[in-house]
Amino acid sequence: MTSTAPAKTAPAKSTAEKTGTEKTGAHTEEAAALIDDARARIDTLDDRIIGLVQERMAISAVVQEARITSGGRRINLSREMEILGSYRDALGRPGTSLAMTLLELCRGRA
Residue pLDDT, tens place only, 5-14: 555 665 556 6
| Residue 23, pLDDT score | 84
| Residue 16, pLDDT score | 56
Sign of the torsion formed by the C-alpha atoms of 64, 66, 67 and 71? positive
How many whole angstroms separate alpha carbon 78 and alpha carbon 95? 18
Taking the CA atoms of the chain, what radius of gyration do you get in angstroms? 24
Q: Record the pTM.
A: 0.74
More confident call, 110 vs 40: 40
How many whole angstroms separate alpha carbon 110 and alpha carbon 106? 11
Is pLDDT above 70 for 81? yes
When pLDDT is averaged across residues 83-108 and rounded to a whole number, the result is 96
How many whole angstroms separate alpha carbon 35 and alpha carbon 26? 8
